[in-house]
Structure 1
């Protein structure tokens, strides 16, 4: 790990990244892509030393209450968070100044902050977004080796539901020829239904690959799925968006089951919900981060 002093902490859409880089080891991670211009090793976590100071100033000066989001680039609950506690400190400030919070994670470490999440949700709004990709536990350990498995994440969803904290699931990525099966999609949807999730974000059954993450992904395929790299190259070349050959059938299952169980499945609708800060008069008020 290493420290930097940042010039700012919140984007103009109220998103923040407290860390840069990750140690979860997910073989498909898009954040490894060269387009993000990371000038240090991906596992050498960059920590914003002045994050708390910057966030305090930003939240204090906000004229309107907003939803603060994190996790789009780096999972905020990487193991290092246990020691650094940047997320915990941020939640304390968000709670103090009356804003809302949402994050994307794969980690059960989020439960460490359940006390603060409950307080914020009672006064404003909290939505925890959890990524689920793989129903099979053994396969999950291969694809996402250094973070809790899908079963553990589902336990988190159920605990949050018990405490009336809304949840959204990211059903992605779905890797062609690996987890793009009816069994996998139905298994994940069973988990979501059982956990009473509010919405499931799915942009199609597939994944993205570009320079940087493609090379890392292919190196892992060579190790874990010998011969599959060649199939990817033959089928997709250097395409950025890679759709599963089973996409049509899998999306039918996705829409049928989410509609039957009244789970939001339109990404635009879900994003609107995530960004909406509840006003006192219950009128619709949206602030994008």
Structure 2
């Protein structure tokens, strides 16, 4: 871990990255790709030490809207437990009447349930959670340093019971690993049980490019001997790696989500995530 001083914190659409890098160890992580020009080891987390000062300054300048953590780094990585940068940000987001959404795989999000409830009562809070496999043992291989799927499902249920809407990212789906009917149906069962509002799915597959491809193949060699050669033969250097079962799995996804009234159109879900309720109660700035 190392600290940096940043000039800005929020992007033009209110994306917020308090940290850069990750220690969850997911074998498929696109954020390892060289195109992001990370000039430090991926597991050496970059911490924006002046984030609270920047956030306050930028919130005071902007109209009330949703603030979201970026998708490159899970905001609830282990160091957040002690640093509490996310929690401090949530306190400020609540104080100034903004909404909030994040993408995580961690049950640490429940530590901040009290603030999420307050934000949701005043404006809007949405928690997005990634589910890749219904099998906890496989989850421990694909995402070794974060809570397993069954625990994430407990988190989703707790959030739903607290009135916090949730969205699941059904990705990535790795060919010949978790691209089975059983797995997709298992994840959808969890989503239905948890009362999720929507499920984001870009198709059954993953993306590979320079940086993350090499790490992914290394992990395939460690955990799935012989599979790297199959990937190389089948997909070459393709950026988009689509499951041979994509068509039939997407039919299952569409049919079951339609039946249960779960949002499954990505554009519609992203509009929902970005939409700030204009009739929300605003408070005097402090």
TM-score of the aligned structures, taking structure 1 as reference length: 0.96
- On the 8 A contact 1:71/1:105 being kept in 2, the answer is no
Aligned partner of 2:50 in structure 1 is 50
CA-CA distance at 1:71 after TM superposition: 3.6
- Aligned pairs for 1:28-107 (under 5 A) are 28-62=28-62, 64-107=63-106
Aligned partner of 1:131 in structure 2 is 130
- On the 8 A contact 1:9/1:16 being kept in 2, the answer is yes
- On the 8 A contact 2:122/2:280 being kept in 1, the answer is no
Cα distance in 2 for residues equivalent to 1:137 and 1:151? 7
Aligned partner of 1:157 in structure 2 is 156
Q: Deviations over 1:95-135 (max 9, x none)?
A: 00000000000000000000000000000000000000010
Cα distance in 2 for residues equivalent to 1:3 and 1:150? 31
- On the 8 A contact 2:123/2:280 being kept in 1, the answer is no
The count of aligned residue pairs is 281
CA-CA distance at 1:61 after TM superposition: 1.8
Cα distance in 1 for residues equivalent to 2:34 and 2:121? 41
- On the 8 A contact 1:206/1:244 being kept in 2, the answer is yes
After the TM superposition, which segments of 4 or more aligned residues of structure 1 sit over 4 Å from their partners?
Answer: none
Cα distance in 1 for residues equivalent to 2:204 and 2:90? 34
- On the 8 A contact 2:132/2:171 being kept in 1, the answer is yes
Pairwise CA RMSD? 1.0
SS in 1 for 2:25: coil
Q: Deviations over 1:82-104 (max 9, x none)?
A: 11111000000000000000000
CA-CA distance at 1:255 after TM superposition: 0.2
SS in 2 for 1:58: helix
CA-CA distance at 1:228 after TM superposition: 0.2
Q: Deviations over 1:210-232 (max 9, x none)?
A: 00000000000000000000000
CA-CA distance at 1:281 after TM superposition: 8.3
SS in 1 for 2:103: strand
Change (3 A) 1:19 1:101: same
SS in 2 for 1:221: helix
Cα distance in 1 for residues equivalent to 2:14 and 2:279? 20
CA-CA distance at 1:250 after TM superposition: 0.3
- Aligned pairs for 1:100-115 (under 5 A) are 100-115=99-114
CA-CA distance at 1:236 after TM superposition: 0.1
Aligned partner of 1:12 in structure 2 is 12
SS in 1 for 2:108: helix
TM-score of the aligned structures, taking structure 2 as reference length: 0.97
SS in 2 for 1:72: coil
Cα distance in 2 for residues equivalent to 1:281 and 1:204? 35
